Structure 1
């Protein structure tokens, strides 16, 4: 019997990560192909090594994933995909300039207005700033984009201390016991480990507000929880916080439609 080919989603990626962490061998029972970049990037962030798993077909994302595995700046020949690390940006600011310029061009060619493309990279820059401010492991930070036919996806992530441990450094939040509560608080107005210091970071809320009306799917992950915002067919935003397979630091995935 021919195996059914499943499309990789965030839910399926989570099931796969949990199964692999538990030592489950499902290679004979599962065949997966990945069209969207976000779920693949989340598997990468969880430490899944793609060339070890024949059941997963990554398609056009193969070169981008190889660049992410090597941790070196990379752009596709078509200009539709790109990757850079914070280490490279801090060593040479022109690496950020190149990443942003190429990414904006890719978004415009995918159908986004130039102003919208600029706003997307403004949000990426703010997320990068939060890694520098809060992760305590700047060298682990990275960002990537993927543009295709009316869609633009990006991820910004690090393997630092994560949202829970970061918020718990502030005495007002020392009581927080789980990453889900920490994510919910981090997306609340004005909450940050430095929220009472006017000269320090203000958390993720302002970034979320800037992206909410531009995206069809926002996913913030830290530790063993994810906070998701999905746009329904009637344009309502549906929010949900759920447990997931544990992953290091912080991971943000955003998918937008032109």
Structure 2
């Protein structure tokens, strides 16, 4: 086992890192990571319920690395907590969203990573065209994260899609072209002050929101 498989800030536990490869090899590693990350979120001011939602979201993203990246050995998960804020990153240097979706004949026509990212944000969009339950769609996560996220950013190949919560609770979505990079990257920043009741969800953007 490599010394870099996992690391947690020893004094407070407010920062932590683990490789996806370790999570796949050690059945107890995920449980340990979840407990540490949830404690960090609660210590930052989030409720027990929202702490659970945050760690569940991390689990969904890391599962997508396993299902879709083609390079589990490059995947990693990081979290950081500070007073009033919790953020996490899940990333890999695998095949990327565009190549993954193109392997599904329905989406073989996709021309760029920006469009692929937008489709990946819709529920049910997947490279697994003959199976259920293997979606590369992150839309369900938006429903759970929208009420507590300040900012979400997804990047794959030469495009990124950013979603920023505005003061009125609506989401400003922008898709932008950038320098090319391998794999998939997501970053989610959540603030305690924007926690809102589930009965008043944020207004989520359609995949055809304006491109930047």
TM range (shorter): 0.7 to 0.9
* 2:81 corresponding residue in structure 1: 147
1:104·1:117 contact (CA, 8 Å) conserved in 2?
yes
* 1:162 corresponding residue in structure 2: 96
2:151·2:164 contact (CA, 8 Å) conserved in 1?
yes
- Shift of residue 197, structure 1, vs aligned partner: 2.1
Please state if 1:213 is matched with 2:131: no
SS of equivalent residue, structure 2 residue 97: helix
1:43-95: CA deviations, max 9, x gaps?
xxxxxxxxxxxxxxxxxxxxxxxxxxx74300002110000001111111211
Cα distance in 1, alignment partners of residues 95 and 4 from structure 2: 20
Cα distance in 1, alignment partners of residues 101 and 161 from structure 2: 16
* 1:100 corresponding residue in structure 2: 34
Q: 2:105 aligns with which of 143, 165, 171?
A: 171
SS of equivalent residue, structure 1 residue 190: coil
Q: How many matched pairs?
A: 189
- Shift of residue 152, structure 1, vs aligned partner: 0.2
* 2:200 corresponding residue in structure 1: none
* 1:74 corresponding residue in structure 2: 7
- Shift of residue 199, structure 1, vs aligned partner: 4.0
1:214-248: CA deviations, max 9, x gaps?
20101111011111110112222101100122221
1:24-46: CA deviations, max 9, x gaps?
xxxxxxxxxxxxxxxxxxxxxxx
CA 1:192–1:82 in 2, change beyond 3 Å: closer, same or farther?
A: same
- Shift of residue 195, structure 1, vs aligned partner: 4.9
Q: 2:181 aligns with which of 226, 233, 247?
A: 247
Cα distance in 2, alignment partners of residues 169 and 197 from structure 1: 13
Cα distance in 2, alignment partners of residues 251 and 200 from structure 1: 19
- Give TM-score, length-normalised by structure 1: 0.70
- Shift of residue 190, structure 1, vs aligned partner: 1.8
RMSD value over aligned CA atoms?
1.4
Runs of 4+ aligned structure 1 residues displaced above 6 Å come to none
Greater gyration radius: 1
Cα distance in 1, alignment partners of residues 147 and 28 from structure 2: 30
- Give TM-score, length-normalised by structure 2: 0.85
1:124·1:156 contact (CA, 8 Å) conserved in 2?
yes
* 1:111-126 matched pairs, under 5 angstroms: 111-126=45-60
* 1:1-258 matched pairs, under 5 angstroms: 71-77=4-10, 78-195=12-129, 197-201=131-135, 203-258=137-192
